[in-house]
Amino acid sequence: MKSNTTMNPSYERRLSKTLPQVHDRIAEATDASGREFESVRLIAVTKAHPVDAVSAALAAGLTDLGENRVEELEEKVREFGRDFATWHMIGHLQSRKARRASQLAHLIQSVDSVKL
């Protein structure tokens, strides 16, 4: 990881409390549907959160991160590196920003037009 950002302890506390609950809910849903827990990809949406929140997510073992603005994705990829996480572009994507998003994100979850 490129970042020298120090983590905000409140993000760490919040994740340590809520992440096990999320994993439990995923386990319940996969059990009920007959799927394997490992078949589900948990994407931590970091949109509108500062880089220290991303640091906490990565430290908690979350490696799939979602952004809905190309500018924020660019900032966080610059801070942490493209290959340190699997970056997802979520939400509406403007066609004029599609090329840049495709260079930054590993997956674009929001292709909503043929033009894109």
pLDDT tens digits, one per residue of 8-47: 789 999 999 999 999 999 999 999 999 999 999 999 999 9
Q: What percent of the chain has pLDDT over 70?
A: 94
C-beta of residue 79 within 8 angstroms of C-beta of residue 51: yes
For residue 86, give both structure tokens.
């699997």
Q: Listing from the earlier edge strand, what are the strands of the sheet with 107-108?
A: 44-45, 64-67, 86-89, 107-108
Q: Where are the alpha helices (DSSP H) in the chain?
A: 9-33, 51-59, 70-80, 98-104
Residue 113 covered by a domain: no
58: domain CATH number is 3.20.20.10
24 lies in which domain range?
9-108
Decide if 51 is inside a domain: yes
Can you give the length of the chain in residues?
Answer: 116
pTM given for the model: 0.85
Residue 2 forms part of a structural domain: no
pLDDT band, very low/low/confident/very high, at 113 (cuts 50, 70, 90):
confident
Count the domains in the chain. Answer: 1
Residue 111: its pLDDT value, please? 85
- In a domain, residue 3? The reply is no
User: Is 116 contained in some domain?
Assistant: no
The band of 2, judged by pLDDT with boundaries at 50, 70 and 90, is low
Confidence of residue 91 (pLDDT cuts 50, 70, 90): confident
Single-letter amino acid, residue 81: G
